[in-house]
Amino acid sequence: MTKIRGKIYVPGRFLHSTTTRTVTSSKNSNKLPSPCQHQLHPKSLRGVYPVLITPFNPDKRESIDLDSFRKCLSFMKHEIKCQGVTITGVLGEANRLTDFEKQILIQAAVEENRKDSSSAPFKEQFDICVGVAHSGTAATIDLCQMAAEIGADSVMVSPSKDSLSAPQPSEESIVSLFEFISDACPATTIVLQDLPSVSGVHMSMDLMVRMVTEIPQLTTVKLESTPTITRIASFHAMSTIDRNSYSILTGLGALYAGFDLCHDPTTSDVSESKSIDVVPIRPTDGFMTGFAFPEVLMEMMHFVNQHQYGEARHLYQSYLPLIVLEQQPGEGLALRKEIYRKRGLIASSHVRQPGKNLSATLRTTTENLLERLFASRNVDIEKAMSSEQLVSCVNE
């Protein structure tokens, strides 16, 4: 048996199975072999990956509304046509979900995604990423393996510590966590979430570059530490591996999207510059965030891919009031859920206790902003907005 911090690790223990499988020791007793082999080669994630909310019923048990959850995923896949989704993340109220509920959500997401299993393009283009943050190493590894065994394409991992007041974990302990996960699920893409405002863990750029370089499955960084553009530029400047072998995704509700994504064409020839303060031509490779109108982010990506940076920035600036309103601490999650409800995706915007539900004042503010942006222009937000509608809302 392999032990982690004194605990015997049994992969698949959350799955409904008639047998219990154990892990036998390998030559290196610190390494964890695994049966998770559903992908041939872990890939870096590029494009738009909305972080889904977890819909709850406003009953005494605050039960999960699986029908609404499936509807959200289907909308992102078939209507928005994004590259994938992330579930059970911070926005998905992961800290208020039991491990069994996480299993149910992962199974529902994989099943919904596999409805199109006969269509190879869908299977290749739409990924399920699962947030597996946990304060314990053994539990984090177990959640990663559970997600992979069910059929998730990637896992998002944020290093943690016992409490916000606890000392920072050593860099070696952080590296060990990701090495354990890499060995447990060798064919699953790992997304490193750099979110110190929630995790309390501040990672140096040296550490992040080292892990992306040394751990093959760690191909994507969700960079959410500020100042984002400085850290993104530093990462690129310090990295010695092929730029196409890793990706950096923008988070934080797309708050800094106009800076993270858009190269300033007025800058001098950055391709020849060695300064880490100069923005590289392709700072980030997309988004993994919970902004409730991901078609805006898709359109920004389209403009950037066409080198139309001015149009991308203009689109960003036009929707910035909504981005800022959504991202504010306190009621931001409740506000985002309310927008999901107004888009016809969920039945209730209820936030699970002890989370804060939307105040009457902020509800009115949200309605007024949505009216100004969309309703006054006869845009039906229950449908995915076309490029023409997005641009018309900007130009009018």
pLDDT 10s digit of each residue in the chain, 396 long?
333 333 333 444 443 332 222 323 333 334 333 444 444 457 899 999 999 999 999 999 999 999 999 999 999 999 999 999 999 999 999 999 999 999 999 999 999 999 865 555 444 579 999 999 888 889 999 999 999 999 999 999 999 887 667 788 999 999 999 999 999 999 899 999 999 999 989 999 999 999 999 999 999 999 999 999 999 999 999 999 999 899 999 999 999 999 998 755 444 333 333 344 444 456 899 999 999 999 999 999 999 999 888 899 999 999 999 999 999 888 999 999 999 999 999 999 999 999 999 999 999 999 999 999 998 888 999 999 999 888 877 665
Which one-letter DSSP state was computed for residue 75?
Answer: I
Among 160, 217, 240, smallest CA distance to 193 is for 160
Residue-wise pLDDT for 27-86, tens only, equals 333 433 344 444 445 789 999 999 999 999 999 999 999 999 999 999 999 999 999 999
Classify residue 346: in a domain, yes or no.
no
**What is d(CA 90, CA 96) in angstroms, rounded to the nearest whole number?**
10
pTM score > 0.75 for this model? yes
Classify residue 368: in a domain, yes or no.
no
Classify residue 324: in a domain, yes or no.
no
> Which pLDDT score is estimated for 212?
97
Classify residue 6: in a domain, yes or no.
no
CB distance 209 to 241 below 8 Å: no
> Which pLDDT score is estimated for 246?
95
> Which pLDDT score is estimated for 392?
77
Among 131, 206, 192, smallest CA distance to 159 is for 192
CA torsion sign for 311, 290, 159, 33 is: negative
> Which pLDDT score is estimated for 115?
87
Q: What is the CATH number of the domain that holds 49?
A: 3.20.20.70
Q: Can you list the alpha helix ranges (DSSP code H) found in the chain? A: 66-74, 99-113, 120-125, 137-150, 171-184, 196-199, 205-214, 228-238, 257-260, 294-305, 309-327, 332-342, 360-373, 387-395
Our count of domains for the chain comes to: 1
Among 203, 208, 220, smallest CA distance to 161 is for 203
> Which pLDDT score is estimated for 391?
82
Classify residue 46: in a domain, yes or no.
yes
**What is d(CA 234, CA 220) in angstroms, rounded to the nearest whole number?**
16
> Which pLDDT score is estimated for 375?
83
Classify residue 299: in a domain, yes or no.
no
By residue range, what is the domain housing residue 46? 12-293
> Which pLDDT score is estimated for 264?
52
DSSP string computed for 115-167: GGTT-HHHHHH-EEEEE---SSHHHHHHHHHHHHHHT-SEEEE----SSTTSP
Classify residue 42: in a domain, yes or no.
yes
Classify residue 361: in a domain, yes or no.
no
> Which pLDDT score is estimated for 23?
29
User: Between the CA atoms of 128, 131, 137 and 138, what dihedral angle is there, to the nearest 10 degrees?
Assistant: -50
Which residues lie below 8 Å from residue 2, measured CB to CB, with a gap of 6+? 8, 9, 23, 24, 25, 29, 32
CA distances from 187 to 34, 42, 94, 125, 144 (A): 10, 6, 24, 17, 12
CA distances from 204 to 113, 194, 362 (A): 36, 10, 37
Q: Mark 233-262 as b/e (b = at least 16 C-beta within 10 Å).
A: bbbbbebeeeeeebbbbbbbbbbbbbbbbb
Strand partners, 155: 130, 190
